[in-house]
């Protein structure tokens, strides 16, 4: 029996690997939307993760008629920074909202911003919102959260983004120290995808 296939609107290698690892547990295949790199880019100018995820899913699903397409927006919220970087997580160290910054630059800026904060003020959470659409019609949104703390120095060589700085008390390690399978069990993206797959299973 062929596994159900779901298209995800992203070119991020890290996100695709996260989604694939989480979906594998449920007998579902998640692959990049065909020729995604050739499609017009959707500007992520929403004020919330949900707004950006919905905008991307609706727009990109128009390019694959009849197919179920998901898109996510995710980021890091640090309590001591009043929820920043939030929806600007990928652009935290960028010079403008129209650019992205490297993982290293974003991590360096985060450490700098927190350099004078005591350890007890380094609580944070990763948030992911997945939106599902077909032919431009929104079908639902699914939110996942992972609570943790920001370390004073990076640990681990796996993952991407802020993973080396994000310590998960539940797993007793950073996201960058986890295998893809471990991360799927503890991460915000894994939690959001689990909720999506529960919904998806009820549609079959």
What are 180's two structure tokens?
């893809």
| Distance set, CA 57 to CA 65, 107, 119, 168, 202 (Å) | 13, 28, 38, 29, 20
Element (H, E) at 142: strand 137-150
Question: Above 80 in pLDDT, residue 3?
Answer: no
Residue 84 vs residue 202, higher pLDDT: 84
For the chain, the domains span: 5-203
Average of pLDDT values for 57-67? Answer: 95
pLDDT band of 66, cuts 50, 70, 90: very high
Hey, which residues are catalytic here?
Answer: 73
- Per-residue pLDDT tens over the stretch 26-56: 778 888 998 899 999 998 999 999 999 999 9
Beta-carbon contacts of 108 under 8 Å, excluding residues fewer than 6 positions away, are 93
Q: Give pLDDT, residue 14.
A: 85
At residue 167, the 3 state secondary structure works out as strand
Q: Give pLDDT, residue 27.
A: 77
Question: Above 90 in pLDDT, residue 107?
Answer: yes
Residue pair 146/66 in contact by the 8 Å Cβ criterion = no
Q: Give pLDDT, residue 192.
A: 95
At residue 70, the 3 state secondary structure works out as strand
Q: Give pLDDT, residue 178.
A: 95
- Per-residue pLDDT tens over the stretch 136-177: 999 999 999 999 999 999 999 999 999 999 999 999 999 999
Question: Above 80 in pLDDT, residue 98?
Answer: no
- Highest mean pLDDT: which range of 17-26, 38-47, 110-119, 124-133: 124-133
Question: Above 60 in pLDDT, residue 1?
Answer: no
Q: Give pLDDT, residue 2.
A: 61
Class of domain 5-203 (CATH, top level): alpha beta
């Amino acid at each position: 029996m062929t596994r159900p296939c779901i298209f995800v609107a992203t070119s991020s290698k890290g996100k695709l690997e996260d989604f694939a690892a989480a979906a594998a547990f449920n007998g579902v295949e998640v692959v990049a939307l065909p020729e995604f790199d050739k499609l017009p880019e959707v500007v992520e100018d929403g004020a919330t993760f949900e707004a950006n995820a919905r905008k991307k899913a609706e727009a990109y699903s128009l390019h694959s008629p009849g197919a179920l397409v998901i898109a996510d927006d995710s980021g890091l919220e640090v309590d001591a920074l009043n929820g920043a970087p939030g929806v600007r997580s990928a652009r935290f160290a960028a010079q403008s909202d129209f650019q992205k910054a490297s993982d290293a630059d974003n991590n360096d800026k985060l450490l700098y911003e927190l350099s004078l904060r005591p350890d007890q003020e380094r609580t944070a959470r990763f948030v992911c919102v997945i939106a599902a659409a077909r032919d431009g019609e929104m079908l639902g949104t699914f939110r996942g959260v992972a609570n943790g703390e920001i370390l004073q120095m990076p640990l681990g060589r796996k993952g991407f983004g802020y993973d080396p700085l994000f310590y998960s008390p539940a797993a007793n390690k950073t996201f960058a120290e986890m295998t893809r399978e471990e991360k799927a069990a503890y991460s915000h993206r894994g939690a959001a995808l689990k909720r999506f797959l529960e919904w998806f299973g009820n549609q079959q």
